[in-house]
Amino acid sequence: MKVDLSNKTALVTGASSGLGRHFAQVLAGQGARVALAARRVAALDELAGEIRTEGGEAFTVALDVRDEESVATAIATIERDFHGIDILVNNSGVSGIKPTLQVTGAEWDDVLDTNLKGAFLVANEVGRAMVRAKRPGSIINIASILGFRITGQLAPYAASKAGLLHLTKSLALDWARYGIRVNAIAPGYFRTDINDDFWDTEPGKAMINRIPQRRLGELENLDGPLLLLASDASAYMTGTTVTVDGGHLVSAL
């Protein structure tokens, strides 16, 4: 999908690896200035160098989405130095696979604070900046099909992603009057650095066989939905979740 994001600044959280790294590269490839945010700044610097080598524009900012002061400082820096924020990809997340009976309160907090509270803190700070500047924009929350359905040993993660889906709708309703669109992408099962080994095991192969398309998603399968929601092509879309899962969610209904 080809769109023109020239003169737009996009903030991608959790950009140091996985989906966030890919999203940043895709947005930069369409002309956006990309603010790369995460706790692991060294990994961000490496990615920024790669984007610049390809002719794109990227800069890095240290950000812990769980820390309200860190969020406020990062957003203020981008607003001051890099022409404001037009697009937010709220991607930071952790999973924490563990039998629910063994999950501690601290482990629950770690997942919910990152995946849900963190997404709220970043979106709210970006939203305030957009309203102050009277600048419309697009916020894209990265959810999961596990926000709609569940699987074993991921109770905190599933709860956080279900909450993120409702947060997306709530912010869309509250901020529509300001020209701020808030949508979500809910990926199904994708091969990433974190889960790569699992998909070659017997349980992993069994899960793949339950996907109607009988395959994992490729990162490139998320490019179209990302660019749709980031661009004016989705100017009349807000409060929507785009599911990218090979039909997995439909088969569970």
252 has a pLDDT exceeding 80? no
61/78 Cα distance (integer angstroms): 8
Torsion sign over Cα 145, 230, 28, 37: negative
Which CATH fold would you assign to the domain 9-251?
Answer: Rossmann fold (3.40.50)
| Cα–Cα nearest to 109, from 150, 160, 168 | 160
pLDDT at 193 over 80: no
Q: Give the separation between CA 59 and CA 45, rounded to whole angstroms.
A: 8
Residues 6+ apart with CB under 8 A from 239: 168, 169, 172, 173, 182, 183
Mean pLDDT of the chain: 95
Q: Quick one: tokens of 100?
A: 């629910």
* Sign of CA pseudo-dihedral 14, 16, 19, 25: positive
Q: Are 185 and 225 in contact (CB under 8 A)?
A: yes
pLDDT tens digits for range 132-188: 999 999 999 999 999 999 888 999 999 999 999 999 999 999 999 999 999 999 999
Give residue-wise pLDDT tens across range 7-23: 999 999 999 999 999 99
What local confidence, expressed as pLDDT, does residue 184 receive?
Answer: 98
Please confirm, yes or no, whether 157 is among the known catalytic residues: yes
pLDDT value at residue 220? 97
